[in-house]
Amino acid sequence: MLFGRGTKNPIKIADKKVKEWKYATCGYCSTGCSIEVGLDESGRAVSSRGVGNADVNRGKLCLKGIFEHELFESAGRGTEPKIRDSFHDEWKKTDWDTALDKTYSEIRRVQEKYGPDSVAVISTGQMLTEEFYTLGKLTRGLIGTNNYDGNTTLCMASAVSGYKRSFGSDGPPGCYDDFDQTDLLIAWGSNLPEQHPIIYWRMKEAQEKSGFPLIVIDPRVTMLAQNADRHLTVTPGTDVVLMNSMMYVILDEGLEDKRYIEANTNGIEELEAEVANYDPVTAAKICGIDEDTIRAVARQFAKAKSAMQIWTMGINQSTHGSDGVVGINNLALITGNIGIPGGTSLSITGQCNAMGTREWSSCSGLPNHRLLENPQDREDIAKFWNIDPEFFPKKRGMFQTDIYQAMELGEIKGLWLIATNPMSSLPNTARIRKAMEQLEVCIIQDCYEDTESAQYGDIFLPAGTWAEKDGVMTNTERRVNVVKPLIAPHANSKPDLWIFNRMAERFNAEGVNKGGVNFPEKAADIFLEMGTLSEGRLSDISGMTHEIIEKSRGIQWPYTAQQAADNVTPETGGVRLYTEDATFRYPDGKAKLIPLPFIDNNEVPDEKFPLWLNTGRLIEHWHGRSKTGKLSNNNKYSPIPFAEVNPDAARELGIIAGDYIRLVSPRSDAIVMAQLTHRVPKNMIFVPFHFHDCANRLTLGLLDPHSRQPAYKQSAVRMEKVADQKAAAQMSMEMRKF
């Protein structure tokens, strides 16, 4: 053996000199991984690693989590509060008091001029739960606008709506442990390896042990689809037809769980009557899956001892998003696959704290799934918060997507945008731009000052990010986990909670409520207040404290004060909802089987626009890339916008791999680089949504009638070869700074 030199020099291996590891929960997606950030002697965050004994991720992290410590010092962070008279002017730096005073007085000025609901507050799934709760209290209890919603309308609204319709309440009933228990997994429009890599790993570990069959329903040959036992290439927007037809087969062949249906559901007759219209022969012509496959999958699903269904945006982001969720729930209910180990319908959520905002933000009502429409809920919360119950609206206001349409009509004149970037994330950017331009005041509160929406801001409030702050987040499997402020907020930015509390002081000073509304300063205290409000409810967190949560590496709700008092150690995992008969959240404890008639209202490809536009996520990027677009070890895998184009379609237009192409929809156009691949069919292109001024210039985004979530995944476009490649490259480059 040839060893080279005999005398060897010492080996040098990078040593980041970590002095201390601090605990946090990852702030990227909803998987909820426990993460430790390494700080060096000077307190700088230099390293990240997965927590070994955390049940969710068991020591693993994805590529975004691995570099999460680089976020604190990444480019474009907001440093100082800024104001200006209009968005045409240059920003002027200012102090916090001036910025907050102006925020307060502008909100009130607009409300006085145009009415209380003329100011909209649009929040996010990015903040910590205590911050959501505080913002909800501030908005519902003091500001008094009913146009308050989160960007979770763009990702999880259909899941929320579907759960509510089927089970009487939001709340995913399953958990990651179901992968270890299940005998069959169906993934509806969900690409775990790319969107939720750690959940994928949990699934892969389970599958390597038990070998359960995997069925993937997706029009694109994703990594998960390629590795599935069956891949059903459904026609975009027709999932409900496939679900109905599967139910037809199950009911027609008597494969349903009659006992379970009888004990746990209402509405089987109506359901049976509706699905009778979807025999596999008829359904195959609509959904593009042949009748034999429909029958085979339906039988396989119904006969499995336990069967698990997961879904993500392929279902939610559709005009039948809420119906799709109900359809999944219907399938689970008629086969008894809810609340049993390995049998569940589990929404794989999107943002890191989408669940926290669902539970506590008061966007769609009042805290902890309480409803504005329910007088008792209004009464209880008003009393708890020390406000007049009459101050609450009697029904929820507009959804985020509807707020923008109202903005176009001039009904909304003031906007407080918190940790969200609609210029990048909402469909049909051209409309959003016009809506933003006509605002009288726009307040941008974000940890980045270079988001595209900031260009329309009049006030900029620089916020802390992720583990510069203190609080909890809830993950996909209802696990509440904690984030600790392991580093001071960047420059003169402040935690969102601090900003809300300072705003609350200003509104409280009006003296409307005798004694004022209490806004605790510390997240841990707010958490205890929330615990009190959760007692006896579905998502009961009253047994938890920040300390117990960190010690347990996150706790799944419910974990009650009673359990804590009885010294019941929180389970490491495997906690499910609806495990007993008739424990659903409708008054009679029974879930609803809801018939789902299908109306095809999508924009489908035609002669002028012959291609389906499918949009979606890449593993290396976070939402609008304001985080990952600046970290080379994430960004480099896809630094510029591209489209997956079928090589046969490309050949007809003379497009070769690496060419810039122009995509045109009935809304606008976009320049992308062509990647030729048979991942997509000849009549479809796939464009990642992460890039500003790109995919969402093209999308139509029809709204789901129940959830108001936009159908990002069903639009029609055409593709053109660009003659001047140099100019196209220049254009693509100029359109974004990162």
Partner 1 sequence: MFPVREDEPKYAFLQDKDSKSENRYGMPIELTIDGDALRDQSLNINNDSDIGDNPNRYKQHGFYFTADNCIACHACEAACSEKNDNAGHIAFRSVGFVEGGTYPDYRRQNISMACNHCDDPVCLKGCPTRAYTKFAEYGAVLQDPDICFGCGYCTWVCPYNAPQLDPVEGTVSKCNMCVDRLEVGLKPACVSACLGNALEFGVIENTPEDRSQIESQIPGFPDPSITQPNIRFQQTKTLNRDMKRVDSTAIKYHRDDDAGVYQPVLDEKHGKTKHWGMKTLLSSHENAHVMFTLSAQAVMGAFVMLIVGGSLFELPVIKAVQQSSAFIPLLIMMFVMMGAGLYKLNMHLGKPHRFYRGFNNLRHSPLSREIAGVTAFFMGLAGYTFFSFFENGFTNLLAGASAVLGMIGFAAGSYYMYKLYRIKARPFWDHWQTASTFYGSMLSLGSLLIAIVSVVMMSNTYDLIKVLALIAAIGLVIEAIGLVFHANDLKNGAGEGQAAHYELSTTFGKTYWLRNALLVLNIILTIVISSTSLTGGLGIFVGVVFTASLITMAYLGRIIFYALVIPTTMPGAFFWKNKGFVDHARESGLADMQQLGVAYERHHKFDVAELMQTVKENSLADMIAQAKAIVTGK
Question: Does the protein bind partner 1 through residue 44 (CB under 8 A)?
Answer: no
Return the number of the residue (8 or 514) whose C-beta is nearest partner 1.
8
Q: Which amino acid does the sequence have at 142?
A: L
Question: Does the protein bind partner 1 through residue 491 (CB under 8 A)?
Answer: no
How big is the CA angle at 342 (ends 337 and 343), to the nearest 5 degrees? 10
Structure tokens at 248: 């037809």
Return the number of the residue (182 or 638) whose C-beta is nearest partner 1.
638
For the chain, state the CA radius of gyration. Answer: 25
Stretches 84-92, 337-345, 577-585, 723-731: which one binds partner 1 (CB under 8 A)? 723-731
List the interface residues with partner 1, window 184-213 (CB under 8 A). Answer: 193-194, 197-198, 200-201, 204-205, 208
- For the CA atoms of 123, 126, 128, 131, the dihedral, rounded to the nearest 10 degrees, stands at -20
DSSP H or E segment with residue 345: strand 344-347
CB 313, CB 321: distance < 8 Å: no
Question: Does the protein bind partner 1 through residue 223 (CB under 8 A)?
Answer: yes
Q: Which amino acid does the sequence have at 151?
A: N
Question: Does the protein bind partner 1 through residue 729 (CB under 8 A)?
Answer: yes
The CA-atom distances, in angstroms, between 135 and each of 130, 152, 385, 487 are 9, 15, 13, 23
Return the number of the residue (4 or 254) whose C-beta is nearest partner 1.
4
How big is the CA angle at 536 (ends 530 and 537), to the nearest 5 degrees? 70
Least distance (Å) between residue 6 CB and partner 1: 4
Residue 147, phi then psi, degrees to nearest 5: -95, 75
Least distance (Å) between residue 129 CB and partner 1: 26
Structure tokens at 519: 């806004």
Question: Does the protein bind partner 1 through residue 731 (CB under 8 A)?
Answer: no
Q: Is 558 helix (H, G, I), strand (E, B) or coil?
A: coil
CB-facing half-sphere around the CA of 118: CA atoms within 13 A: 20
Which of 640, 664, 731, 735 is in the footprint of partner 1 by CB under 8 A?
A: 640
Q: What is the DSSP string of 198-209?
A: HHHHHHHHHHHH
Q: What is the DSSP string of 688-710?
A: ETTSTTSHHHH---PBPTTT--B
Query: Distance between CA 226 and CA 194 in Å, rounded?
Result: 13
Least distance (Å) between residue 223 CB and partner 1: 5
Return the number of the residue (60 or 537) whose C-beta is nearest partner 1.
60
Question: Does the protein bind partner 1 through residue 627 (CB under 8 A)?
Answer: no
Return the number of the residue (488 or 733) whose C-beta is nearest partner 1.
733
Least distance (Å) between residue 481 CB and partner 1: 16
Which of 42, 53, 376, 567 is in the footprint of partner 1 by CB under 8 A?
A: 53
Which of 51, 298, 497, 544 is in the footprint of partner 1 by CB under 8 A?
A: 51
Q: How many residues bind partner 1 (CB under 8 A)?
A: 77
Which of 623, 627, 630, 690 is in the footprint of partner 1 by CB under 8 A?
A: 630
Return the number of the residue (518 or 569) whose C-beta is nearest partner 1.
569
List the interface residues with partner 1, window 59-88 (CB under 8 A). Answer: 59-63, 66-67, 75
Least distance (Å) between residue 101 CB and partner 1: 37
Return the number of the residue (383 or 651) whose C-beta is nearest partner 1.
651
CB 294, CB 284: distance < 8 Å: yes
Q: Which amino acid does the sequence have at 660?
A: Y
Question: Which of 386, 460, 376 lies closest to 418, judged by CA?
Answer: 460
Return the number of the residue (11 or 723) whose C-beta is nearest partner 1.
11
CB 244, CB 274: distance < 8 Å: yes
Least distance (Å) between residue 28 CB and partner 1: 13
Task: Write the CB contacts of 541 (distance below 8 Å, at least 6 apart in sequence).
Answer: 480, 527, 530, 531, 534, 557, 558, 559
Which of 22, 44, 58, 230 is in the footprint of partner 1 by CB under 8 A?
A: 58
Which of 105, 438, 569, 633 is in the footprint of partner 1 by CB under 8 A?
A: 633
Stretches 101-109, 239-247, 477-485, 627-635: which one binds partner 1 (CB under 8 A)? 627-635
Question: Which of 439, 445, 447 lies closest to 410, judged by CA?
Answer: 439
Question: Does the protein bind partner 1 through residue 432 (CB under 8 A)?
Answer: no
Which of 119, 221, 333, 472 is in the footprint of partner 1 by CB under 8 A?
A: 221
Return the number of the residue (495 or 641) whose C-beta is nearest partner 1.
641
List the interface residues with partner 1, window 14-43 (CB under 8 A). Answer: 14-16
Stretches 96-104, 439-447, 457-465, 673-681: which one binds partner 1 (CB under 8 A)? 673-681
Query: Distance between CA 580 and CA 574 in Å, rounded?
Result: 15
Which residue shows structure tokens 């109900």?
326
Query: Distance between CA 319 and CA 702 in Å, rounded?
Result: 6
Stretches 114-122, 390-398, 416-424, 656-664: which one binds partner 1 (CB under 8 A)? 656-664
Stretches 91-99, 402-410, 503-511, 727-735: which one binds partner 1 (CB under 8 A)? 727-735
